Amino acid sequence: MDALQADIDQLEAEKAELRQRLNNQSKRTIEGLRGAPASGVASIVSGIAGGVVSNQSMLNGSGPVQIRDSPLLLQQIDALRLSMKHLKQENNKLKAQRMKEELSSLPLLHVPKLTLPKDRQREEIMSGTLYRKTSQLLDTLHQMSANAKVVDITHKKGGTPSAQLFEQAARLKSLSETIDKLK
């Protein structure tokens, strides 16, 4: 019987604590509508600062009880965030569309062609040729360094090892001469 009476007393204390929390939460909600709303952590901090600590929790020695936002409130917050994200994307799309329309309505720019003197044209052609040859030479050198050939001394490939070595030396010499010509 004493155990049941203790349970009843505990439940009544818990009921009083929940009523107190409900009243405080109602006050915070009204204050939140007037000012910036407090989230779960902020409401805990404001509850501690405002002295909203239940007698039951002080008697148990557990300190203040952590208040969590309700799942419905969290779901509404997520839905609002999602709708804000959607609205921002839609706003950006509309702005981009408006800018494209403005750009398309602008008159085209007329850029006059520059005619180069014949000497400059010849220099342009020569520099283009020089650039192309240099680029080809650089590609060849990269290929040679990446695919280095080793002289085959087993005589499985065609030619003697000395002929293979002579061929590689001739290729390097011709590339060296090409470099000198381009300089």
101-159 pLDDT, tens per residue?
A: 999 999 888 877 777 666 666 666 677 788 888 888 888 888 888 877 777 777 776 67
Angle between helices 118-146 and 161-182 (to 10 degrees): 150
Residue 128 lies in a domain: yes
Name the residue range of residue 32's domain: 18-69
Asked if residue 76 and residue 65 are part of one domain, the reply reads no
Residue 140 lies in a domain: yes
Residue 4 lies in a domain: no
Residue 157 lies in a domain: yes
Q: Is 109 helix (H, G, I), strand (E, B) or coil?
A: coil
Q: What is the dihedral of CA 165, 170, 175, 179, to 10 degrees?
A: 120
Asked if residue 82 and residue 59 are part of one domain, the reply reads no
Asked if residue 153 and residue 141 are part of one domain, the reply reads yes
Going by C-alpha positions, the residue among 181, 76, 75, 78 that lies closest to residue 136 is 181
Residue 112 lies in a domain: no
Residue 110 lies in a domain: no
Asked if 49 and 41 touch (Cβ cutoff 8 Å), the reply is: no
Asked if residue 83 and residue 63 are part of one domain, the reply reads no
Asked if residue 133 and residue 165 are part of one domain, the reply reads yes
**Most confident of the ranges 41-50, 114-123, 156-165:** 156-165
Asked if residue 80 and residue 42 are part of one domain, the reply reads no
pLDDT value at residue 164: 80
Asked if residue 40 and residue 27 are part of one domain, the reply reads yes
Asked if residue 131 and residue 177 are part of one domain, the reply reads yes
Residue 162 lies in a domain: yes
Residue 8 lies in a domain: no
Asked if residue 127 and residue 176 are part of one domain, the reply reads yes
173 vs 121: which has the higher pLDDT: 173
Distance CA 166, CA 149 (A): 12
Residue at a domain's end among 81, 105, 129: 105
The total domain count for the chain is: 3
